[in-house]
A and B are shown apart, each in its own frame.
Chain A
């Protein structure tokens, strides 16, 4: 288990920019939100899949919708809390571990912000490239409206979400695809958050040592 503090977010954001490969909106917005949250609510414990208990409830969180709009009407962690609460109510259980849905772009840094505020550990991993076992999704917009969907196929989730997002203002905060600890061990793309931080640390060290061409004048 490692503790992630506000000062680690800079490296994680750089890594998220690299791994985001220009998608996933602007990680800097997530950086500002995450650093603010970590300063106010404290560090985030980051845990490996191996530490998961079989009956943990692992809930990924993500901003869904148009990335360009997220830099205008930026998301608030309050919306994630709303989405999480709606999902927990449907499932009749509380989340014990949060998870990042995609380790790149804005969603990487947002996951830390949410974990800090709700006080839950964050799994070192993400969902990219994986098929997930459950298809419940709870969405929460900036006015506190929540919508919980339980669909039979991924394609249905996709279609319903796209219809809803327009009315919600282009993007919404989601708690989605919950899984047990046992399922997460099989399904998660493990260690990806550590990879972000290592990439970011490498870049920062290179800048400090003035290796390569760098970007600061």
Chain B
């Protein structure tokens, strides 16, 4: 069963062709500023390079950082309308409480808190008042807002009010894109609400990216279904991804770690993914990334997604190094590595150049870095590896030796040993993230609150 896994990263877009558990072919290409060009290029390369026919493909799975980046960079976010179903409760904390100022300013939310909500046992606090919802909808329309988040107290226990509010809203705004907090999941009103607001702010971007990806598939002649990978390493359909782009957050590190686990056949290991801009360090436990238990912040906003416990440092292949070799990042040339780095004929000193000059890697043209002072290069390599070792140390919870898997396009930076652990690069390490996407599985979630008082004994069993 042929399928293609793709990872769209900050620097490179990688693709692998897999048949069952075998990696048949792998390609890398630079990530394009628009999404489609890079994805189309890599689809064509992997199909032509492997010799299969597009018609033989069963599925294409894509993991992308686009939506995460939009949030962390406060870019391409839409204005959001917010309706919270909660009065008289929750007035002590308005929606967007605790949000960093810059992202709150980027989405300029129009907030309406109205009466209703449910108690924890499913009793209605108050019914939804249609007039209040319609008034909010009129305000949104007047402000040109078409992306709306609806949250409600105890909506995970009973989502009927949120759904009713959405229906009422659509009567006034038939084209509105609505995210219900009960659909994005998690516990805690602020976290649920924040997730819904973030999702709504990605509404325009979600649809345009999914359209672009659909176009890329069509132009590559692929009729097989397209899936996007989620934060927990599972898949969602293209239609669902357009509606819930927030669920793709952190899929990158999850895919790298799952890919590393699969390629190395290790179930317990530390994994470093060294990419173009950053290195992400996580822990594999029984084949899955160790997840964070606490509140997760996405771009500084409290949410409650199940995400891998990753330490990120600003060190990757494209990290800028100052002329005196003293400053290592945090800026990076990102996807412009192939234009800017010295080894590719550019004019910017990057970590990749240091790696080649120091003999850790052999890509590009060594002559372009022959002039770099050897002692300074070696000291710089030591400092970069110290940073990686410190990040590895922060994720270890015991001194028991575990395999240290290094994956990603810039994995050469790690050398052979880090902090006393031997570095292992599994087969196809450079495209571990695309492998992780290709290995992702479908999943479903079923949550129900049961009232033990009303269930009969037989039902309880």
Contact = CB atoms under 8 A, between A and B. Distances in A.
A26 B188 contact: yes
A38 to B, nearest CB: 13
Nearest to B157: A72
B91 A76 contact: yes
Contact of B92 (A28, A68, A74): A74
A213 interface: yes
Chain A interface, >50% SS class: loop
A66 B154 CA distance: 14
A73 B91 CA distance: 9
Given A28-B295, A73-B189, A213 B394 contact: yes
Interface in A101-117: 113
B189 A77 contact: no
Interface stretch (B82-90, B210-218, B352-360): B82-90
A143 B88 contact: yes
Q: Sort chain B's interface into a size bin.
A: 20 to 34
A78 interface: yes
Nearest to B155: A72
A147 interface: no
B311 interface: yes
Contacts of B312: 217
Interface string A124-165: 000000000000000000111000000000000000000000
A125 B1 CA distance: 67
Contacts of A68: 187
A71 B120 CA distance: 11
Contacts of B117: 73
B153 A73 contact: yes
Interface string B132-174: 0000000000000000000001100000000000000000000
A104 B282 CA distance: 31
B188 A71 contact: yes
A1 interface: no
B73 interface: no
A213 B93 contact: no
B154 A217 contact: no
Interface string B260-303: 00000000000000000000000000000000000100000010
B416 interface: no
Contacts of A74: 89-90, 92-93, 189-190
A169 B93 contact: no
Contact of A170 (B88, B120, B187, B311): B120
Q: How many residues of A sit at the interface, in one of the four size bands?
A: 20 to 34
Interface in A15-29: 26, 28-29
A76 B117 CA distance: 16
Interface string B88-116: 11111100011000000000000000000
Contacts of A213: 393-394
A216 B127 CA distance: 43
B393 A66 contact: no
Contacts of B120: 66, 69, 72-73, 169-170
A69 to B, nearest CB: 5
Contacts of A36: 92-93, 97
A211 to B, nearest CB: 13
A166 B89 contact: no
Contacts of A71: 187-190
B121 interface: yes
A144 B88 CA distance: 9
Contacts of B188: 26, 71-72
Given A72-B153, A73-B117, A213-B394, A33 B92 contact: yes
B157 to A, nearest CB: 9
Nearest to A142: B89
A168 to B, nearest CB: 9
B91 A72 contact: no
B184 interface: no
Contacts of B86: 73
B154 A72 contact: yes
B56 interface: no
B245 to A, nearest CB: 24
Contact of A29 (B89, B93, B310): B93
Contact of A77 (B92, B187, B190, B394): B92
B339 interface: no
Interface of A: 26, 28-29, 32-33, 36, 66, 68-69, 71-78, 113, 142-144, 166, 169-170, 213-214, 217
30 contacts: A28-B295, A32-B98, A36-B93, A72-B153, A72-B187, A72-B188, A73-B86, A73-B117, A73-B120, A73-B154, A73-B189, A74-B89, A74-B92, A74-B189, A74-B190, A76-B92, A77-B92, A78-B91, A142-B88, A144-B88, A169-B120, A169-B125, A170-B119, A213-B394, A214-B394, A217-B311, A217-B312, A217-B313, A217-B391, A217-B394
Given A71-B188, A78-B92, A170-B119, 15 more contacts: A26-B295, A32-B93, A32-B97, A72-B120, A73-B86, A73-B117, A73-B119, A74-B92, A74-B190, A75-B92, A76-B90, A113-B92, A214-B394, A217-B310, A217-B311
Report the 10 A-B pairs with minimum CB-CB distance, sorted nearest first: A76-B92, A142-B89, A71-B188, A217-B311, A73-B89, A169-B119, A170-B120, A72-B189, A33-B92, A73-B153
Interface of B: 86, 88-93, 97-98, 117, 119-121, 125, 153-154, 187-190, 295, 302, 310-313, 391, 393-394
